[in-house]
Structure 1
Amino acid sequence: MSAMKKITQMAFALHSWLGLISGIFLLLLGLSGSALVFMKEIDQQLNADRLQVHPAGPALPLDKLYRQIAGRHPNLAGIAWLNPDAPADRAWEFRLYQNDGKLSTYDLGMISINPYTGEIIREGRLRDFNPSLMHWILQFHWSFQLGIPGLLLATIFGMTMLLSMLTGLIIYRKYVWRVLLFRVPIKGKNWRTRTSSLHRVIGIWTLLFNVIIFFTGFWMNMFSMDPGYWKKQLTPAAANTLSTHSMDSLLAEAKGAMPGLMIRNIYLPTQPGKDFRISGMLHGELPLFHNGNSVSVDPISGKRSSLQRFEDLGFWAKLESTFMPLHTGSFGNTGVKVFYVILGLLPGLMSITGALLFFRRRFS
């Protein structure tokens, strides 16, 4: 037996077992990920009446809402304002970073506020269907709603998918160019050969997309493999230590340090040692780099502590700033997002066809 044939057989065995073990999880990741491509649109549609507000003069000071949230949740690791670029008739959305000291929970929460009245529109933990189905799906996608172990599990399945694609490339290496040139039709004399043909063609056509999706997901979740992170999660968040400066003054300081920044996210500190931070993109930059610029302000002194421009980043840092947009499809228009939805469902289809082929060979 030649060395290449032996490698192919080993790759086939590994490919089969990887797909079988992780198949159901990949199907769940694909379904949830495809739904999340249109997360904002679906969430707005499902909650249109609740999240639409009626402007009545200027919005309340950000600092007032910051202290309102902190008063309702006295032990926060931090707060993120998710939609500072929202239109005037939309509620403001805030993510709550929490820590109850238990590994079994992935402690994210949310709160939506009418910025003109301070009314709480919805509030709760992302592990609950209420306040938001789409935010529940978001946390499910990252951790299967299994807490920190689930986060690690999702990371591991990202690695298994990458290995599965590598072994699949070894197995079907002779078909790559023929498939890409449409010289391998999906056909066969029976369901087994048709399923095998479908599995091969879909796998080759979606290879690059899947590498991008699963590598970026693995990389962004890689912190779950750090023992120090697990240890940190066993310590509940301390009582809030709020800034002595108003959030509005810190925001003005940050904006002044980088005029023209289109702000996409604002981090509001609630613990010592954490800075106020804004991030976004500058005019002329591609949406793929939407968080490549940032300004941090010390909440104690009220002065700028750091400034980062995308153009000054090194190659890897620039590349890394694209991982979230590439993973979610948020950089594109509706057509790009539909493309992401369709291709995002295919790994699940691949796992089904792979399982059918495995059991057919195993028990026939």
Structure 2
Amino acid sequence: MTFKKTTLFIHRWLGLISGLVVLIVGLTGCILAFREEIEANTKPYLFAKVKSAPLLLPSAVEDQVKHLPGIIPDSIMLSSLQYPGPGHALIVNYRIGKKQSGQAYLDPYTGKALKSGKPGFDFFEFAEHGHRWLWFPFTIGRPIQSSFILAFFVLLISGIILWWPKRWTTRERRQSLTIETQKGTKRLNYDLHNVLGFYMSLVALIIVITGLCISLPWFQGGIYWLTSGGKAAKPFKPALSDTTMANPTPLTTQRVDSLFRLHQRQYASAYYIWPATKKAALLVLLNTDPEKDYKREFRYYDQYTLRDISVQSSFYGTYDKSGMADKLRRMNVSIHMGTIGGIATKIIAFLTSLITASLPVTGFIIWWGKRKKRKRTLKQKS
């Protein structure tokens, strides 16, 4: 077989094998592209009017949660507390005993409950689970999704090779770059697959590469190696609290208040994640610009002494002091989701996801039509 025929064989069968997964990931990607804008209009409890009053301290937030309807004050324990920034409600996640969990949205100035209770069904979380692990359990769905998206990466490369004209004459250039609407449904379907596939291929490659960086550590390591000039990323070692103290002091919200006062002077948003074990550290995500997630800083504090624990990984340091490879690694999720450049890049991500979802459909129609044509030809010969 010639190179192009081999490429076509690979493209055709990888497309048939991975088509359903690509369709699901593409459609759920469309849904998630404008998640923030849709939630802004459907979930008013996410927002709170900005006031001149000081923000509630963590201890005051805990007190407010303990007095929510149906809560026994001594039965809850905070698991995370998020100050998203001006104009947004506080988000509190808490545990009731060992099995139950709850969530509350509070006015950050008065503590008034805007919404509380056990987290219910969320359409966007449902879509995200489909996008990331196809609604299977994580340990099953993630490898399946990653494998098929890796196949789609090969499909994109092979598609560009198949699209590339043999000669760049005016006629061939027009055929390769124009969708014909006056030559029947077969030609229209072919152009929707071939021409639209080419137009979205570059952006799709970026989205696929960033997606694979999220799901495949070895792939992320390879991209880091390329963007850093041949360096390996420093392995992340989780921060641990000192459990050897004679009389360790349990972490309380009153003690976290001092950290909050310190952070409030420098940062617009803060996200406190309580340690899940006796050895874990208190994790705090801080950001001077809440609209840009990739700029947030990761801080770890000993849960007994509140000592700042340094972590041997530049990715978890300060964005401005990071090298290019680490900055790209930080921006990976924002690039993948299309939030990196605001509404313009979200629209591009949406359209790319929509075209991506259409490719398995148009590709299958092309394959089915050729299959039927071959059968007719064989019947005529026989």
TM-score, normalised with respect to structure 1: 0.73
| TM superposition shift of 1:305 | 1.2
| TM superposition shift of 1:271 | 2.4
| TM superposition shift of 1:206 | 1.0
Q: Deviation digits for residues 69-92 of structure 1, max 9, x if unmatched? A: 997777x9x6473x52141xx432
Q: Does 1:200 align with 2:194?
A: yes
- Choose 1 or 2 for highest CA Rg: 2
SS of 1:93 mapped into structure 2: strand
SS of 2:251 mapped into structure 1: coil
Unpaired runs of at least 5, structure 1: 102-107, 226-240
Q: Which deviates further from its counterpart, 293-302 or 344-353?
A: 293-302
Q: Does 1:158 align with 2:110?
A: no
Of the three residues 90, 93, 100, the one matched with 1:92 is: 90
Q: Distance in 2 between matches of 1:155 and 1:219?
A: 10
Of the three residues 207, 226, 230, the one matched with 1:213 is: 207
Check the 8 A contact 1:151/1:224 in 2, yes or no.
no
| TM superposition shift of 1:287 | 4.1
Q: Distance in 2 between matches of 1:269 and 1:276?
A: 5
Q: Does 1:38 align with 2:46?
A: no
Check the 8 A contact 2:50/2:86 in 1, yes or no.
no
| TM superposition shift of 1:140 | 2.8
Q: Does 1:361 align with 2:370?
A: yes
Equivalence for 1:299: 303
One-letter code of the match for 2:135?
Q
Q: Does 1:10 align with 2:26?
A: no
Q: Alpha carbons of 1:215 and 1:123: their partners in 2 closer, same or farther (altered >3 Å)?
A: farther
Unpaired runs of at least 5, structure 2: 67-72, 220-248, 312-316, 374-382
Equivalence for 1:243: 251
| TM superposition shift of 1:51 | 4.0
One-letter code of the match for 1:337?
K
One-letter code of the match for 1:296?
Y
One-letter code of the match for 2:179?
I
Q: Distance in 1 between matches of 2:29 and 2:75?
A: 31
Of the three residues 37, 43, 65, the one matched with 1:47 is: 43
Equivalence for 1:112: 105
Q: Distance in 2 between matches of 1:272 and 1:176?
A: 67
Check the 8 A contact 1:114/1:121 in 2, yes or no.
no
Of the three residues 125, 136, 158, the one matched with 1:135 is: 125
Counting only pairs closer than 5 Å after superposition, residues 223-234 of structure 1 correspond to structure 2 as none
Of the three residues 295, 300, 315, the one matched with 1:290 is: 295
Equivalence for 2:334: 325
Q: Does 1:167 align with 2:173?
A: no
SS of 1:321 mapped into structure 2: helix
Of the three residues 169, 183, 186, the one matched with 2:179 is: 186
Q: Alpha carbons of 1:260 and 1:60: their partners in 2 closer, same or farther (altered >3 Å)?
A: closer
Q: Distance in 2 between matches of 1:264 and 1:331?
A: 20
Equivalence for 1:235: none
Q: Distance in 1 between matches of 2:48 and 2:201?
A: 44
Q: Alpha carbons of 1:58 and 1:287: their partners in 2 closer, same or farther (altered >3 Å)?
A: closer
| TM superposition shift of 1:252 | 3.9
Q: Distance in 1 between matches of 2:168 and 2:103?
A: 48
Q: Distance in 1 between matches of 2:333 and 2:179?
A: 34
TM-score, normalised with respect to structure 2: 0.70
The alignment of Structure 1 onto Structure 2 pairs a total of residues equal to 323
Q: Alpha carbons of 1:36 and 1:123: their partners in 2 closer, same or farther (altered >3 Å)?
A: farther
Check the 8 A contact 2:267/2:286 in 1, yes or no.
yes
Equivalence for 1:228: none
| TM superposition shift of 1:164 | 0.9
One-letter code of the match for 2:207?
I
Q: Alpha carbons of 1:322 and 1:162: their partners in 2 closer, same or farther (altered >3 Å)?
A: same
SS of 2:115 mapped into structure 1: strand
| TM superposition shift of 1:333 | 2.4
Q: Distance in 1 between matches of 2:206 and 2:353?
A: 11
